[in-house]
Amino acid sequence: MTAVEHRPANPAATSADRPIGFGRIQRKEDPRFVRGKGRYVDDIVLPGMLHGAILRSPVAHARLVSVDTTEALAHPKVHAVITGRDLEGLNLAWAPTLSADVQAVLATDKVRFQGQEVAFVVAEDRYAARDALELIDVEYEELPPVIDARRALDPGAPVIRDDLAGRTDNHVFDWEAGDAAETDAVFAAAEVVVAQEVVYPRVHPAPMETCGALADYDPVDGTLTLYETTQAPHAHRTLFAMVAGIPEHKIRVISPDIGGGFGNKVGIYPGYILAVVGSIVTGRPVKWMEDRSENLMSTSFARDYIMRGEIAATREGRILAVRTHVLADHGAFNATAQPTKYPAGFFSIFTGSYDLQAAHCAVTGVYTNKAPGGVAYACSFRVTEAVYLVERMVDVLAAELGMDPAELRLRNFIRPEQFPYRNKTGWEYDSGDYEPAMRKALEMAGYDELRREQAEKRARGELMGIGVSFFTETVGAGPRKHMDILGLGMNDGAEVRVHPTGKAVVRLSVQTQGQGHETTFAQILAEELGIPPEDIDVVHGDTDRTPFGLGTYGSRSTPVSGGAVALAARKVRDKARAIAAAMLETRPEDLEWEKGRWYVQGDPSAGRTIAEIALGAHGTVALPEGVDGNLDAEVTYDPPNLTFPFGAYVCVVDVDRGTGKVRVRRFVAVDDCGTRINPMIIEGQVHGGLADGVGMALMEFIGFDEQGNCLGGSFMDYLIPTAMEVPDWETGHTVTPSPHHPIGAKGIGESATVGSPPAVVNAVVDALAPLGVRHMDMPCTPARVWAAMQGRATPPI
């Protein structure tokens, strides 16, 4: 036993020589993760806890004739079996989705996709619960399924959502943006028009941790404590109050460590509600955790957009207009998590990074007999699809014009002096300086040299491809006036408290899923207040300990909560100034700030550090009028606009002529997310997103057969890239701060996921160009590349 034994075991956290503020510091959260001390929902064990399991439909479309739970209830370890009928008694059989639709919590009338929730068993352990599922006798009367979105609106197609009053087809919505007549006029007069159908297939975020919940309902005081895998604890709490009838102040949602979200943990899944009902019914805590197959088959997928795009241009390569129509497959329920009622991300950015004369887009949503959800996978609400479409189309145009695709992009960029730039659907891009980013990427890649190498290889019959993409993203929603989720404005809060000893806590409404919030937000506070990051505790994931806000998705955390933290810190700094003035017996306006300290102008030795001021604030200093005895502030930040990070990517692939196998040989990514808080964390985000993009471009795919059987329900079928499939990433950056954000930061969480798929596919198509290939759809699996090489249509999988 020595005097240092009670010090933290993380040496990085006690280093005195690290920078106070922005910079490449080690992540504060990593010591617990690298030691296996992370605490996830499934790690939590409560006394008397029971375990739930969900019986899921084996068929995609059927009438539910009967559900007989007699045998399951007789299982000695089973405490409860809950069916849709039971939920009807609680008025909980259907729950509102985040998109003006409803979704069955447990099926009552029909099942509408393979994997839909039919019954819930609560038992002493997970094994008994699973065993008892097989004792439930369900009679299904099968119906013909609707699987292909293109067929969903056919006359005579089976009506999937006959639960909705008056519904006679599978139509969900028609939305449009831009001026159709103006756009058509530009197209009619254009020298060149190219068109292409582009499919962004259904993929899945596939986080390392699946979804789950542990519900603990206390019948004595009527409180519900809900441990959940969620990216948005406060929004869930409010929605639970609205859905379940438990008053909001009686609900506590706790999101402990989360093993990856990527949008998969935004929505409220039936399993969460079932855990709550299970706890209410049994009077015991009930845990429900998905297995991998359940996660892949039934939680929010992404994409599933069939897009027809057209570009109008001049012969010289001046892009004039974009026109597109999208068929959006929403599965059996429109459970989309998105702000406002339309795909804001798509509409804001299908015009790309280019200065257009006109643009128009229409999206038609349809129901199919597939799992519901969608869009929330690292996409900022359909930005990913829009960027893929426009970047693929630009390459199609380049091919048509016989022009280099990088050169074509450089000719059409919005120019720096045009920012803030209002695009043809009315969205204002906050800042951008695209050409330097593009040139930097080309330079890092050695673009000209690559083209020479490609020419040589082509001469030898080898298939080498160079793909370029340039993207602008719409991230960081609000503003509250423009966007909401079920009436809740897209704002987020931060509270800053400086304790009497000068240590601090910052409490956030956003929730980390591995992206380093505990470090990034500590650095923002450190930068503003001069308190070292190791002296700052970052709290999130507990509605009882954090201010209200809409949570983490769409790269919102830094743009929204980052603004909140900076502004709250500045409030604290101003308050500290008033208190320091009282301590120094001078006027606040006579004080100057240096990081961590207010001092008297002209007398730097006369000052008070933040720690000294903190003790004074909580101590006996006579405070000025209107200043109370703490060093705390809370801010709910309403961003005046979204932020628009951008980037330029270059991908080099080799395609095996004998097998069609694509190898990504190099990948250069130049990103601009404005102010860079922790470059190491930014690079980590980019690395992860690039792997996402390579995965989607080459292998990831949730397919269905004609009966609606999901063909991507395990990691044997749903392939994700490993270290073998990705190159060493080559990253660079430019810095174009957001002019409206308190620290100029824009958000980086999704950039690479958004920007990389078109670079990879453009590279594959470029490689296959000598074979006459102008386009192929993702994923570019060997079988599909082989088919393209043979001039055949892309096979389904």
DSSP 8-state assignment for residue 549? B
500 binds its own copies (CB under 8 A): yes
Between residues 631 and 764, which has the closer beta carbon with respect to its own copies? 631
Q: Does 585 bind its own copies (CB under 8 A)?
A: no
Let me know: does 334 contact 296? Beta carbons within 8 Å: no
| Residue 418 is a binding residue for its own copies (CB under 8 A) | no
Among 241, 444, 719, 797, binds its own copies (CB under 8 A): 241
From 12, 153, 539, 680, residue interacting with its own copies (rule: CB under 8 A) = 539
Strands (E), 546-627: 591-594, 597-600, 603-609
Residue number with CB closer to its own copies (486 or 793)? 486
Q: Does 791 bind its own copies (CB under 8 A)?
A: no
CA distance 350 to 347: 6
Nearer to its own copies, 53 or 92 (CB): 92
Q: What count of residues does the chain have?
A: 797
Q: Does 89 engage in binding with its own copies (CB under 8 A)? A: yes
Stretch that binds its own copies, among 225-233, 241-249, 416-424, 776-784 (CB under 8 A): 241-249
CA-CA-CA-CA torsion sign (675, 677, 680, 685): negative
CA-to-CA separations, 332 to 94, 97, 189, 707, 713, in angstroms, rounded? 13, 12, 41, 14, 17
According to the binding rule CB under 8 A, does residue 175 interact with its own copies? no
Nearer residue to its own copies within complex by CB, 462 or 638: 638
Applying CB under 8 A, among 291, 433, 484, 592 the residue interacting with its own copies is 484
Say whether residue 493 binds its own copies (CB under 8 A).
yes
Measured from the CB atom, the residue of 503 and 570 that comes closer to its own copies is 503
Stretch 268-307 residues interacting with its own copies (CB under 8 A): 280-281
CA-wise closest residue to 97 among 289, 437, 338: 338
Specify the residue, 219 or 772, whose C-beta has the smaller distance to its own copies.
219
Report the alpha-carbon distance of residue 312 to residue 397 in Å, rounded. Answer: 9
Take residue 736 and report the two structure tokens written for it: 């174009």
Alpha-carbon torsion (326, 480, 300, 392), positive or negative: positive
Chain centroid, CA 161 distance in Å: 28
Using the minimum distance from each CB to its own copies, give the nearer residue, 76 or 487.
487
Please say whether the beta carbons of 733 and 671 come within 8 A.
yes
**Number of continuous H segments (helices) and E segments (strands) in the chain:** 20, 32
Q: Which stretch binds its own copies (CB under 8 A): 113-121, 162-170, 213-221, 686-694?
A: 213-221
Under DSSP, the state recorded for 491 is: -
The C-alpha atoms of residue 749 and residue 743 are separated, in whole angstroms, by 17
Listed ranges 31-39, 205-213, 381-389, 748-756: which one lies at the site for its own copies (CB under 8 A): 31-39
How far apart are the C-alpha atoms of 750 and 759, rounded to whole Å?
15
Q: According to the binding rule CB under 8 A, does residue 119 interact with its own copies?
A: no
Q: Among 137, 248, 574, 594, which residue interacts with its own copies (rule: CB under 8 A)?
A: 248
List 196, 357, 630, 707, residue binding its own copies (CB under 8 A): 630
Neighbours of 494 (CB within 10 A): 31
Q: Where are the beta strands (DSSP E) in 161-282?
A: 171-178, 192-203, 212-218, 223-228, 251-254
Q: Given the complex with its own copies, which of 537 and 730 has the nearer CB atom?
A: 537
SS3 452: helix
Q: Which of residues 608-627 bind its own copies (CB under 8 A)?
A: 615, 618-623
Q: How far apart are CA 646 and CA 437, in angstroms?
A: 9
Instruction: Rule CB under 8 A: choose which of 90, 157, 680, 783 binds its own copies.
Output: 90
Footprint on residues 546-565 left by its own copies (CB under 8 A): 547-548
Query: What are the two backbone dihedrals, phi and then psi, of residue 688, each rounded to the nearest 5 degrees?
Result: -60, -45
5 part of the interface to its own copies, by CB under 8 A: yes
C-beta closer to its own copies: residue 341 or 452: 341
Determine which residue in the list 291, 355, 634, 730 makes contact with its own copies, applying CB under 8 A. Answer: 634
Taking CB under 8 A as the criterion, the residue among 468, 583, 635, 702 binding its own copies is 635
Stretch that binds its own copies, among 4-12, 179-187, 292-300, 751-759 (CB under 8 A): 4-12
CA distance 161 to 140: 17
Under rule CB under 8 A, residue 91 binds its own copies: yes
